């Protein structure tokens, strides 16, 4: 479930001392709040706020190519899953992005956090190559413009006009690891801070039922295909997780019981990211499943083929995490 607080069209700029604090300012939009582990720069005002109970979020964790900034594809991006909080802060007048960055660094370290990556557009440290519109490209790396709330009726990356700075930090919390991704932009209209916090945690796994060999066979007999959700991979990779083992065991039992059965293994993703990126990822994941069945269970190569469908064949709307979870699947198709 996503809760979105509408952005204010106008807001006051406040003068303040250079410290971080927790708690709300009087001008914050209704329903918004600071993240308790991160806080805010003193005098800042929350002008945009969203919370998603469970989602996939990409953060910058190293230098990236500005040309792929908005698609968040390729080197320099890390994929996280968990509760995602997005906060837009309008910074007080007269405070530079450097001063704000240093305050966040000190505060996060004082709370036991680790700074994983920091960069500035002025010295090119955010990029893998020289970028003529450096601040704009850093703002674009927050994510696809159309998927983000606007800031004062403009796309948020347009507030990264003159300079930009970035910080990624990790903190340990009782229920998991917390990542704080902070984008700081300077423009003629004022300076802004865009904070993404991801609280990593285990997703509710009882929403989609485990399917055994008998149920797989029944679905194949009736529909010619079956969707599986027990085959899990590492974030943004084709590496099988240990929890995939029970489902792989059941596929092997199915094929041992019916020696004439041939299967196409199809990888599917949700719509997060570009079509080309998802097609490649789903293809690699399908191939990995085929390899596991051949190498670990002795299934003949002539009985298995792999195909990646990417985001092209959804079975549910991608406008909620529940729908996206249904679309992220491995499908068996009888040949």
The domain ranges of the chain are: 2-199, 213-334
User: Is the pLDDT score of 2 beyond 70?
Assistant: no
Helix, strand, coil share of the chain (percent; to 5):
25, 30, 40
Give mean pLDDT, residues 105-129.
93
Q: What would the mean pLDDT of 129-139 be, rounded to a whole number?
A: 92
Q: Cβ contacts of residue 64 below 8 Å, gap of 6+?
A: 74, 75, 76, 77, 126, 127, 128, 141
Distance CA(264)–CA(283), nearest Å, equals: 12
H helices of 229-312, where?
245-257, 275-297
Torsion of CA 158, 68, 71, 48, to 10 degrees: -30
Closest CA to 138 of 169, 170, 161: 161
pLDDT value, residue 247: 94
- Number of residues assigned to the chain: 335
First to last CA, the chain: 38
With b meaning 16 or more CB within 10 Å and e meaning fewer, what string describes 32-44? bebbebbbbbbbb
Which helix (DSSP H) or strand (DSSP E) does residue 40 occupy?
strand 40-41
Chain centre to alpha carbon of residue 298: 36
Q: Which is nearest to 45 in space by CA: 17, 24, 66?
A: 24
Cβ neighbours around 17 below 10 Å, total: 11
Q: Does an H or E element contain 77, and which?
A: strand 77-90
Residue range 167-175: mean pLDDT, rounded: 85
Decide if 108 contacts 38 (C-beta within 8 A): yes
Q: What confidence category does residue 242 fall into, taking pLDDT thresholds of 50, 70 and 90?
A: confident
What angle, 0 to 180 degrees and rounded to 10, lies between the N-to-C axes of helices 245-257 and 213-223?
Answer: 60
Across the range 203-211, mean pLDDT stands at: 60
Instruction: Using pLDDT thresholds of 50, 70 and 90, give the confidence band for residue 208.
Output: low
Helix locations, the chain, DSSP H: 97-110, 134-140, 213-223, 245-257, 275-297, 321-327
CA contacts within 13 A on the Cβ side of 43 = 16
Alpha carbons 97 and 76: distance in angstroms, whole number: 22
User: What value does the mean pLDDT take over residues 63-82?
Assistant: 91
Strand partners, 266: 307, 331
Q: How far apart are CA 12 and CA 306, in angstroms?
A: 57
State the Cα–Cα distance between residues 2 and 149, nearest whole angstrom.
12
Q: H or E segment at 268?
A: strand 263-268
- The arithmetic mean of pLDDT across residues 154-175, rounded, is 90
Q: To which residue do tokens 């991608």 refer?
A: 318
C-alpha to C-alpha distance for 276 and 229, rounded to whole angstroms: 23
- What is the pLDDT, as a whole number, of residue 236? 75
% of the chain exceeding 90 in pLDDT: 67
Report residue 289: phi and psi, to 5°.
-65, -45
**CATH homologous superfamily, domain 213-334:** OmpA-like domain (3.30.1330.60)
Give me the pLDDT at residue 226, please: 95
Tell me what pLDDT residue 320 has: 75
């Amino acid at each position: 479930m996503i809760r979105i607080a509408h952005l204010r069209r106008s807001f006051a700029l406040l003068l303040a001392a250079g410290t971080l604090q927790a708690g709300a300012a009087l001008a914050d939009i209704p329903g918004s709040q600071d993240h308790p582990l991160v806080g805010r720069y003193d005098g800042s005002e929350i002008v945009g706020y969203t919370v998603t109970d469970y989602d996939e979020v990409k953060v910058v964790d190293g230098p990236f190519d500005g040309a792929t900034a908005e698609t968040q594809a390729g080197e320099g991006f890390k994929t996280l899953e968990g509760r995602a909080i997005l906060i837009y802060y309008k910074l007080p007048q007269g405070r530079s992005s450097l001063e704000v960055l240093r305050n966040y660094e000190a505060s996060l370290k004082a709370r036991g956090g680790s700074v994983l990556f920091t960069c500035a557009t002025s010295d090119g440290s955010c990029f893998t190559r020289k970028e003529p519109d450096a601040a704009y490209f850093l703002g674009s790396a927050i994510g696809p413009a159309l998927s983000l709330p606007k800031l004062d009726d403009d796309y948020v990356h347009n507030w990264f006009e003159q300079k930009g700075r970035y910080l990624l930090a990790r903190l340990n919390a009782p229920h998991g690891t917390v990542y704080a991704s902070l984008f700081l932009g300077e423009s003629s209209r004022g300076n802004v801070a865009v904070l993404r916090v991801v609280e990593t945690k285990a997703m509710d796994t009882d929403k989609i039922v485990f399917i055994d060999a008998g149920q797989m066979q029944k679905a194949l007999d009736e529909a010619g295909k079956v969707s599986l959700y027990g085959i899990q991979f590492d974030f943004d990779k084709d590496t099988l997780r240990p929890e995939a083992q029970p489902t792989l065991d059941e596929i092997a039992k199915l094929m041992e019981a019916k020696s004439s059965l041939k299967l196409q293994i199809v990888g599917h993703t949700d719509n997060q990211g570009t079509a080309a990126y998802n097609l490649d990822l789903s293809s690699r994941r399908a191939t990995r499943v085929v390899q596991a069945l051949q190498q670990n269970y002795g299934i003949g190569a002539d009985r298995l083929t792999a195909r990646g469908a990417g985001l092209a064949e959804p079975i549910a709307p991608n406008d909620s995490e529940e729908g996206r979870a249904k679309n992220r699947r491995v499908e068996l198709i009888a040949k």
